[in-house]
Chain A
Amino acid sequence: MSSLQEHLPILQILVPLFGAILTAFTRSGTTAWAIAAVSSAISPFISAALLIKVTTTGQPISYVMGPWAAPWGIEYRVDLLNGFILLLVSLIGLVSIPYARKSVAQEIDSHKQSWFYTMYLLCLTGLLGICITGDAFNAFVFLEVSSLSTYTLIALGRQRRALVSAYQYLVMGTIGATFYIIGVGLIYIVTGTLNFVDLAARIGPAMPELSRPIIAALAFMTVGISLKLALFPLHVWLPNAYAFAPSFATAFLAGTATKVAIYLLLRIFYTFFSNAIPFYSLPISEFLLVLSLAAMFVASFTAIFEENAKRMLAYSSVAQIGYITLGIALANKIGLAGSLVHMFNHAIMKTALFFALGAMVYRTGVARMSSLSGIGRKMPITTAAFVVAGLGLIGVPGTAGFISKWYLAMGAIEHGWIWLVFLIVLSSLLAVVYVGRFIEIAYFREPSSDIADSHEPPLSMLAPLIALAAATIYLGFDTRLTGGVARQIADFLLSGVVLGGTQ
């Protein structure tokens, strides 16, 4: 058993990767789903084991490939930060997989289903890989693995517009990845290393002589990753990609892909660049602050006017990402913790919302707001779960969203920015409007003809949805996992200790 434990970091990647290879050789959708289910079910246990080990020992876990020692070979390194994100991603994978069976069976042609699951597993592999690796170039490889599989997932959507959306995302995603690799190239020239820990040690001494390439590298990496995480105004690929992808893919990606990109941004800022350039000395915090605020307001207003419910939720995602980057821009302990908490909470809530909407689409075939009127009477449980998660999005006390906004508001106060507290609150009011609009349509209007003979979705879709809605409430009261861990992470990120521990 002990040897198996030692190899947990690589197993985290290998389990979904082998799953992907197996599904590629199967013909039947059901078999492919079963393989995906087994892989997705194992992943969270590995992540949980890793996170528990990191929290109990207080030391990061380092895992080296083959005979090449750390700075030369590729190292996998798990500390509190990526342990937390790994757990989040694999948990979303776990709750998604029961939902996938019926939804995918309806939306994807049967001969493409096994390919769909292959792409899903590759995407999971890529996302987990970005999190776990301790190597800048390896992160790029996983970034491409997850991105390419994401393009395919989106392109498999039923409408022809899915192809255009996937293509646009492909172009933009490639630009983002290219910027990232240009940045990696620049720092490799300067320091001669790609290992995060090694980079952190070398980049500080290199700074006085070679400040220009280092600053340029940071700029390229920041903008490249901002594209992947859909920071305003680089978010324009996201609404269509989410709207036209298969329902399951949207829900899974909304909970994971942008969060992993945010993780990568945090990793770059706080683990190695902070040794060379203190965060607060850069214009980046002002940049992030302004763009986050713009996202919170512009995207929320757009969500209010949006007629397609999927696009409405997609714009709301852009706005919520604004809260997360806002916490990063605050750059104090409590703001950063708020950002991490909101990453987790938003993943839970937005996945729940897309699940609920996906279930409605599954039964009715429509996603337009006007066609969904009166859906609360036909699908009461689904709609109730939507409302619970929607209340979380607003930040109503007793839901997870309140905890995030509380941290962010306290972070702003600690910074002495009272006006920012007002803006946070004001933008929450916009969420009241778009969520309230859906509630009004769902409950207080006569059922439209489009949904006349719809009823609750099958249990396999309902159960994950209810679980996530319950989690939205639960995380509003028990903040040990989110708030507690997030504060520890914020502590070590700001303390400047490289990767959460000594070498």
Chain B
Amino acid sequence: MMSSLLPFSIFFIGAGLALFTKGILRAAIMLAIPIVGAINLYMTPADAASNVTLLGYQLDLLRVDKLSLLFGYLFHLAAFLGIIFSLHVEDRVQHVAGLVYAGSALGAVFAGDFITLFIFWELLAVSSVFLILARRTERSYGAAMRYLLIQVGSGVIMLAGIGLYAMATGSTTIKQIGLQNWDQGFAGMASWLLLLAIGIKACFPLLHNWLTDAYPEATPTGTVFLSAFTTKVAIYTLARTFAGTELLVYIGAGMAMFPIFFAVIENDLRRVLAYSLINQVGFMVVGIGIGTSLAVNGAVSHAFNDVIFKGLLFMSMGAVLYRTGKINGSELGGLYKSMPWTTGFCMVGAASISAFPLFSGFVSKSMVMVAALEEHHSAVWLALLFASAGVFHHAGIKIPYFAFFAHDSGLRPKEAPINMLVAMGLAAAICIFNGSYPWLLYSMLPYPVDYQPYTAAHVLTQSQLLFFSALAFVWLQLRGLYPPELPGINIDAEWFYRRALPAIGHWGRNAAAAVYNEWLGLRGAVVRGANAGLYRLHGPDGVFGRTWPTGRMAFWTTVMLGAYVLTSYF
């Protein structure tokens, strides 16, 4: 039977322990959980299985193969980094919620059937909302409630899809289902519902608002957890069920492109990162959509690297927020003087997300792009190329520049706490390691890898893309040692980018901003209108909320009887 523990159970037990301990003891327990979990996972035999029966269905709680193992190790690693990063926080709610959240992600990854997946899918939603609520502001409350509604909504759509799928096929095992036509009855409907449910969690365009709405409102440490798990569980599920679905290629290309416009005009730096998170997930969706072994390998390895470098970027911004209480680009600047380590780590993350050679983004993102070319998706390849340049602008330059350099805001916060630095340092080391020596990561991928990232052609392709920008950026980095000259250099770089992307940059950005503002206005008006209407009807003074006089109750009883008798006779 079971020679090892179920991966999620270790986190759940740990959450229970963290609930009743505090201080050093809790810190020790929390640090031990991912370590024990990883050892346990390593000891888990390849044929391990664990079945329970619920509602007459066999639940398969432990499906071990290369794909689930890779995500399993990734989530242990991400949890470990997140826990270190949040060790200084004395907030029981956040610690417990973070552990349950990470455990739920593991449960979802090792789920062998849809019902188990659904259970953890909902647990992910419910546990993660506490990380947003824990910010304890009016804004975060609103964002958390919207987030929870959409996440639970995704779960119930999934449940409907699972129900139909079970009726159509008589099985709830997770396997490749692919998209089918509506007219194929339950099976067709099930496939669309499941894609929609996964799409919400994976932030497909127009389904993405929850992420950019809620993640920037979470606590400094909470966002680090949030960025690691929810979307990656969705990507994992997508890879399990919809690999090779062509529609995903175009959805993914859209996802990679549209956030760039918003990221450029956004001032809240954590929201910029939220947009770039969607952009990176877009690359993964393209990879899954292409579905060749190279593309899926690329998508999966990019998911791995993204968790680390996006986590690193969120950590560095979290450290800034923690120390200064500010996160808007316009209010920050010059922080490198007093937070040099954070600055350095942030730059490693920025280089990784921009896919500089020798940094982790390079070895995985290029796999997806090469796969797109191999399958003759030239337009998609161009879209991804454009997206790569965009990433470099908003995540590679904008984030470190506005936070740490730019005009000096006069803020001189202390360097981040030691635990934050350790977490960022580890993440940065992994980014560089995976970028320089990708073979360990490649060996864990679901398909055998015969891909060479460091061929002259690949390096040249990336260099062509980044040529002028890289030059400017490296120059900036080098000259960054000389603070007085910094602002001018950056304006050059900014100006260059706007010149390089003339039409799309300006027109697209303005159009996007205009459309987005219209949409916000319209949505606001609809929501306000609906809310007022609901309140009029259902509020304490509304017809459904107030106390009726006895006579009116009796009157309605008679009406019911009359209506009922009449309809019965005819």
Contacts and interface: CB of A to CB of B under 8 A. Distances in A.
A279 interface: no
A212 B569 contact: yes
Contacts of A410: 163
A396 B122 contact: yes
B195 to A, nearest CB: 16
A141 interface: no
A283 B566 CA distance: 10
Interface string A186-219: 0000000000000000000000000010011011
Contact of B164 (A406, A418, A443, A479): A418
Nearest to A433: B145
Which of B554, B557, B568 has the most chain A CB within a 10 Å cutoff?
Answer: B568
9 contacts: A219-B565, A233-B556, A234-B557, A301-B537, A391-B126, A394-B152, A422-B160, A426-B156, A432-B152
Contacts of B157: 425
B149 interface: yes
Contacts of B167: 413
B540 A397 contact: no
Interface in B526-570: 534-535, 537-540, 542, 544-545, 547-548, 550, 552-554, 556-557, 560-561, 564-565, 567-569
Contact of A220 (B55, B156, B561): B561
A236 B553 contact: yes
B213 to A, nearest CB: 16
A428 interface: yes
Given A306-B540, A422-B160, A425-B160, A283 B93 contact: no
Contact of B569 (A215, A436, A437): A215
Nearest to A440: B141
Closest 7 pairs (CB-CB, A-B) = A425-B156, A397-B119, A301-B538, A283-B567, A302-B538, A305-B539, A219-B565
Given A429-B152, A479-B55, A215 B568 contact: yes
Contacts of B133: 439-440, 443-444
Interface stretch (A167-175, A461-469, A488-496): A167-175
A307 interface: yes
A179 B561 contact: yes
Contacts of A282: 568
A68 interface: no
A162 to B, nearest CB: 13
Interface string A141-174: 0000000000000000000000000011001100
B159 interface: yes
Interface stretch (A88-96, A221-229, A245-253): A221-229
Contact of B163 (A305, A394, A396, A409): A409
A477 B561 contact: no
B144 to A, nearest CB: 8
A223 B126 contact: no
A403 interface: yes
A56 B54 CA distance: 24
Given A282-B568, A422-B160, A307 B554 contact: no
B497 interface: no
Interface residues of B, number: 51
Contacts, number: 147
Contact of B542 (A305, A391, A409): A305
Contacts of B145: 433, 436-437, 440
A406 B560 CA distance: 31
Contacts of B569: 212, 215
A117 interface: no
Interface string B55-91: 1000000000000000000000000000000000000
Contacts of B545: 302, 305-306
Contact of A287 (B126, B129, B567): B567
A396 B194 CA distance: 19
Contacts of B141: 440, 444
B557 A227 contact: yes
Interface in B161-181: 163-164, 167
A143 B384 CA distance: 71
B189 interface: yes
B557 A172 contact: yes
B544 A175 contact: no
Contacts of A167: 550
Contact of A302 (B118, B544, B552, B568): B544
A483 interface: yes
Contacts of A223: 557, 560-561, 564
A477 B152 CA distance: 20
B436 to A, nearest CB: 43
B55 A298 contact: no
A444 B554 contact: no
B60 to A, nearest CB: 16
A216 B569 CA distance: 9
Given A432-B149, A444-B136, A477-B54, 11 more contacts: A175-B557, A234-B553, A234-B557, A239-B547, A305-B539, A413-B163, A413-B164, A425-B160, A440-B133, A440-B145, A444-B133
A168 B144 CA distance: 40
A302 B547 contact: no
Contacts of B568: 215-216, 218-219, 282-284
Interface in A112-140: none
B153 interface: yes
